[in-house]
């Protein structure tokens, strides 16, 4: 079967519990995935240059915990030059590769027009998608429409996966590849070294976000960083593309140098997140990554609904003003309700999560 989920980070991670459930329920199936090249490291460690539309089948060079093969589809690049010769050749190569797969079913977990078009390129009789996709016209290209009812997008993805073989699956903890080079990179991070040597927790802050309305003010992250450091934690501030000169710099400056800035590849971010004790951030891919890895999370939500895409499958505390309304308009200024969340509330949530973990560890020790 073929899975279509092109991106972005959080959306790929929200699709993985359903696809992992299919892999565990049907270990002998061949499961392939169409994805944007940028997000390939979430599925495999093999980062060798691969031409769009061509599938690498030499699995011995890569760790691929869930999928058998990966098809790269640079649809965003094609969208910028839709009439170019390069785009036409790329789409033709992709179509040929998908047809060669001879899939029994195609599962569109994106619900967009472009993803449904790619699903149909495979030439498969069964194209499964949500009856109410994110982009309504996409449903016209599905041969099977599933009326999903789960409140969270992960639950809806599992409902779609159930339709492939009539299963009754439950979300499974995602399986992410372990990149040896990224692990070695983590070995050299001072905060992680000190944390391991002194038994101090390392907390990772993500001040970034897809657009301004979702971003809690950077100076408040700085206050949280300073308070965490005062209480003995080691703090890292993750700076994604475009964040380095604004969000991360402001957060570290207000923390009086008590937090370190870190940035890296997707594989390195996966490795780093595996080693931290707790993650704080908004509705953004790296926070969803923490959930996928089972890390405790403090989620700061404003215009997006945590019931649909909040922390799932991990210890978490979600802070959202009751007056906040779901709105995906890409405004630059933080949403008004998000601004009512104060650093004190964040620290209370952090303390609550650490206390909960200590209690569980104590109970486990008593049982042992």
Q: How many angstroms separate the CA atoms of 34 and 289, rounded?
A: 20
pLDDT given at position 111: 97
Whole-number Å distance between alpha carbons of 19 and 250: 39
Rounded Cα distance, 250 and 34, in Å: 38
Cis before residue 20, ω within 30 degrees of 0?
A: no
Q: Please compute the mean of the pLDDT values over residues 295-322 and round it to a whole number.
A: 97
Q: What is the mean pLDDT of residues 176-182?
A: 94
Lowest mean pLDDT among 21-30, 73-82, 219-228, 247-256: 247-256
The pLDDT value given to residue 366: 52
User: According to the model, what pLDDT value does residue 62 have?
Assistant: 56
Question: Of 249 and 215, which is predicted with more confidence?
Answer: 215
Name which residue leads in pLDDT, 244 or 333. Answer: 333
The pLDDT > 90 percentage for the chain reads: 83
Beta carbons of 170 and 154 less than 8 angstroms apart = no
- Is 90 exceeded by the pLDDT of residue 209? no
pLDDT digits (tens, 9 = 90+) for 32-55: 999 999 999 999 986 544 444 444
**CA nearest 68: which of 60, 57, 82, 79?**
57
What pLDDT shows up at residue 56?
44
Report the pLDDT value the prediction gives residue 252, as an integer from 0 to 100. 75
H/E element holding 318?
strand 316-319
Q: What is the pLDDT of residues 226-279, one digit of tens each?
A: 999 999 999 999 988 777 666 777 777 777 788 999 999 999 999 999 999 999
Look at residue 246 in the predicted model and tell me its pLDDT. Answer: 67
SS3 77: helix
Q: CA-to-CA distance for 57 and 64, rounded, in angstroms?
A: 11
- The dihedrals phi and psi of 236, each to the nearest 5 degrees, come to -120, 135
All structural domains of the chain, each given as residue ranges with its CATH number in brackets, are 2-165 (3.40.50.2000), 180-367 (3.40.50.2000)
Mean pLDDT lowest for which of 17-26, 60-69, 210-219, 342-351? 60-69
Average pLDDT, the chain: 91
> Can you tell me the distance from the alpha carbon of 290 to that of 355, in angstroms, rounded to the nearest whole number?
19
> What per-residue confidence (pLDDT) applies to 368?
44
In this predicted structure, what is the pLDDT of residue 98? Answer: 97
Number of H helices, E strands in the chain: 13, 12
Predicted confidence at residue 318, as pLDDT, reads 98
The predicted pLDDT at position 251 comes to: 72
**259-262/234-238 β-pairing:** parallel
What average pLDDT does the segment 82-103 reach? 96
Write out pLDDT tens, residues 136-170: 999 999 999 999 999 999 999 999 999 999 999 99
- Residue 82 to residues 6, 71, 78, 100, 123: CA-CA distances in angstroms? 17, 20, 5, 24, 22
How much is the pLDDT for 53?
Answer: 46
pLDDT for 55: 42
CA distance linking residue 291 with residue 308, whole number of Å = 14
Selection from 61-75, 97-111, 209-223, 345-359 with the highest mean pLDDT:
97-111
What is the pLDDT at residue 30? 96
**1 CA to centre of own chain:** 22
Q: What percent of the chain is predicted at pLDDT more than 70?
A: 92
Q: How far apart are CA 222 and CA 259, in angstroms?
A: 8
Nearest to 335 by CA among 221, 219, 214: 214
Per-residue model confidence (pLDDT) at position 260:
92
pTM of the model: 0.93
Do the Cβ atoms of 185 and 215 come closer than 8 Å?
A: no
Q: Which residue has the higher pLDDT, 200 or 57?
A: 200
The DSSP result for 213-249, as a single string, is GGPPPHHHHHHHHHHHHHTT-EEEEE--TTTIIIIIH
Please report the sign of the dihedral spanned by the C-alpha atoms of residue 75, residue 93, residue 45, residue 188: negative
Residue 220 has pLDDT above 60, yes or no: yes
Biggest distance spanned by C-alpha atoms of the chain = 67
Cα dihedral 223, 225, 229, 234, rounded to 10, equals: 180
The 3-state DSSP composition of the chain as helix, strand, coil percent (nearest 5) reads 45, 15, 40
Residue 190 has pLDDT above 90, yes or no: yes
């Amino acid at each position: 079967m073929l899975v279509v989920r092109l991106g972005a980070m959080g959306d790929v991670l929200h699709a993985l519990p359903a696809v992992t459930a299919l892999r565990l329920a049907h270990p002998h199936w061949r499961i392939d995935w169409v994805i944007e090249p940028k997000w390939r490291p979430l599925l495999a460690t093999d980062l060798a240059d691969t031409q769009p539309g061509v599938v690498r089948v030499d699995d011995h060079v890569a760790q691929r915990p869930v999928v058998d093969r990966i098809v790269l589809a640079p649809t965003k690049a094609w969208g910028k030059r839709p009439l170019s010769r390069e785009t036409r050749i790329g789409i033709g190569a992709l179509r040929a590769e998908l047809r060669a797969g001879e899939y029994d079913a195609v599962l569109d977990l994106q619900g967009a027009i472009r993803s449904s078009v790619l699903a149909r390129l495979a030439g498969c009789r069964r194209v499964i998608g949500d009856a109410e996709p994110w982009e309504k016209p996409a449903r016209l290209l599905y041969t099977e429409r599933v009326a999903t009812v789960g409140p969270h997008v992960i639950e809806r993805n599992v409902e779609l996966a159930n339709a492939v073989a009539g299963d009754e699956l439950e979300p499974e903890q995602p399986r992410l590849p372990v990149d040896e080079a990224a692990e070695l990179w983590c070995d050299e991070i001072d905060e992680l070294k000190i944390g391991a040597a002194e038994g101090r927790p390392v907390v990772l802050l993500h001040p970034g976000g897809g657009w301004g309305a979702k971003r809690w003010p950077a100076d408040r992250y700085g206050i949280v960083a300073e308070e965490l450091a005062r209480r003995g934690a080691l703090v890292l501030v993750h700076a994604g593309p475009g964040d380095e000169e604004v969000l991360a710099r402001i957060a570290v400056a207000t923390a009086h140098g008590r937090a370190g800035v870190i940035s890296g590849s997707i594989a390195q971010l996966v490795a780093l997140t595996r080693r931290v004790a707790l993650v704080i951030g908004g509705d953004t891919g790296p926070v969803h990554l923490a959930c996928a890895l089972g890390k405790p999370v403090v989620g700061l939500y404003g215009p997006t609904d945590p019931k649909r895409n909040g922390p799932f499958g991990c210890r978490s505390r979600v802070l959202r003003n009751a007056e906040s309304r779901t709105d995906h308009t890409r405004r630059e200024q933080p949403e008004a309700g998000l601004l009512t969340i104060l650093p004190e509330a964040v620290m209370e949530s952090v303390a609550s999560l650490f206390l909960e973990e200590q209690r569980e560890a104590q109970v486990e020790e008593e049982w042992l």
